[in-house]
Amino acid sequence: MSTKHEKILQYIESLPVGDKISVRQIAKEMQVSEGTAYRAIKEAENRRLVSSIERVGTIRIEKKKKENIERLTFAEIVNIIDGQVLGGKSGLHKTLTKFVIGAMQLEDMMRYTDAGSLLIVGNRIKAHENALRAGAAVLITGGFDTTEDNKMLADSLDLPIISTSYDTFTVATMINRAIYDQLIKKDILFIEDIYVPMTDTAALKNDETIHHFQKLNERTTHGAFPVVTHQNKLVGMITVKDVIGREENELIEKVMTKNPIAGSMKMSVASAGHRMIWEGIDLLPIVDDDNILQGVISRQDVLKALQLAQRQPQHGETIDDLVKNEMKVLGDEELIVEFKVTPQMTNQYGAISYGAFTTLLAEVGSFALKRRKRGDAVAENMTIYFIKPVQMESTLTVKPRILDMSRKFVKMDFEVYNQQMLVGKAMMMFQLLER
């Protein structure tokens, strides 16, 4: 049974892209309270099914596929640059393929402006008209207006004309930043990208017996299965270890692990991997908000995905990327890493921030382990027991030293120098990821 909330979301998803919706309209259409309708619209906004724009309202937008995440809709542009829509509101759901800065002669400008692009230009009325006729939307900077004819043309072509008080350079920077931020999001792998859906795997019912487990184990060769009710709600996990020495007619719910650890679709793969290693589990069931089983991921799936992600070309830069970019490896026998402190890595006093310092040590430690052919590792804990302020533009030298290494754990010591002066000492424990 779908809840009222889910029914409203399904209704919103069924609306044509570009439709305008309101709390009152949804409440009337679906015969629910305005409070319920408001909460559902907010959830639809989080799921990127609709976009709320000041002075325009809430518009049904196209949900972007992950590979197109770097494309923005005109509705999102309006929010980014705090714009006002002068015409063509019904085209706000469309995505732009590129933006063109109109700082040239009209003919030259039109050579670069084609369908799906956004022309960023000042108060050049003729350029506004030509861009619309070429199939492009228009963003007017400096707070200028356009003619009524151009507004009517925009309405007839479903192409937005947007006005903003910012100058052209600021607007281009803001849009670029938004695209860049989305590229970073694109690089983060989520469970929904790698999970195995229930159609491709198997689960057991809680009222089945160990005999059923053995049959399923023989057929699939899997050593662990999620346990669900007849409504497909997750209630447990069962592994080969749980059934050793048990009678064939014993019920699964008597021997299974109850209330198992589960993941959700929006959990990052890195976070799921860390949790699985920490808890010592090889199979993680994936559930929705109502605890209905959606699929599973294995530890191997996580490792494969993380290794693949490391080989992908990076577009957006995270803090970790910034730190890696400044690392230079020296020394063949003994590993030494040189590191430059850039302005982005400093605190309000202009000294290296605690976050950048810990990231640096974690990255150096991981690199040292890879050099020893120990593969991937997760930092389990870190103790910085000596640190001196290090000013920006300083060049640090980091010397890692492995103190103890077992099959599963590595203990490492770090010394950090600024020229010849010792400025930091730390101890770190890594847990090695089994292949």
Inform me whether the pLDDT recorded for 69 exceeds 90.
no
Q: What is the pLDDT of residue 387?
A: 92
Query: How much is the average pLDDT of 201-208?
Result: 92
How far, in Å, CA of 11 to CA of 17, rounded?
A: 12
Q: What is the pLDDT of residue 200?
A: 86
Q: Could you please report the per-residue DSSP string of 97-117?
A: SEEEE--S-HHHHHHH--TTE
Q: What is the pLDDT of residue 46?
A: 77
Q: How confident is the model at residue 348 (pLDDT cuts 50, 70, 90)?
A: confident
The residue ranking higher by pLDDT, 374 or 290, is: 290
> Which residues, 6 or more positions from 209, have their beta carbon under 8 angstroms from its beta carbon?
248, 249, 250, 251, 252
Inform me whether the pLDDT recorded for 315 exceeds 50.
no
Range name among 151-155, 191-195, 311-315 with the lowest pLDDT average: 311-315
Which tens digits make up the pLDDT trace of 169-193? Answer: 788 878 877 776 666 555 567 888 8
Range name among 28-32, 178-182, 261-265, 383-387 with the lowest pLDDT average: 178-182
Which percentage of the chain shows pLDDT scores above 90? 33
How far, in Å, CA of 117 to CA of 136, rounded?
A: 5
How far, in Å, CA of 343 to CA of 351, rounded?
A: 9
Closest CA to 158 of 124, 120, 134, 132: 132
Range name among 231-240, 341-350, 410-419 with the lowest pLDDT average: 341-350
Inform me whether the pLDDT recorded for 323 exceeds 50.
yes
> The tokens 């490792």 sit on which residue?
303
**Other Cβ atoms closer than 10 A to 365:** 24
Q: What is the pLDDT of residue 66?
A: 47
> Which residues, 6 or more positions from 114, have their beta carbon under 8 angstroms from its beta carbon?
134, 135, 136
How far, in Å, CA of 284 to CA of 272, rounded?
A: 8
Q: What is the pLDDT of residue 171?
A: 85
How far, in Å, CA of 208 to CA of 228, rounded?
A: 10
How far, in Å, CA of 130 to CA of 132, rounded?
A: 5
Element counts in the chain: helices (H) and strands (E): 16, 21
Average pLDDT over the chain reads 84
Cβ atoms 253, 235 nearer than 8 A:
yes
Query: How much is the average pLDDT of 233-260?
Result: 91
Longest dimension (CA), the chain: 85
Q: What is the pLDDT of residue 114?
A: 82
Q: Could you please report the per-residue DSSP string of 17-62?
A: TT-EE-HHHHHHHHT--HHHHHHHHHHHHHTTSEEEETTTEEEE-P
Q: How confident is the model at residue 65 (pLDDT cuts 50, 70, 90)?
A: very low
Inform me whether the pLDDT recorded for 63 exceeds 70.
no
> Which residues, 6 or more positions from 417, have their beta carbon under 8 angstroms from its beta carbon?
396, 397, 399, 423
Helices (H), 244-330: 252-255, 269-279, 299-311, 319-325
Is residue 286 classed as helix, strand or coil in its secondary structure? strand
How far, in Å, CA of 301 to CA of 193, rounded?
A: 11
Q: What is the pTM of this model?
A: 0.44
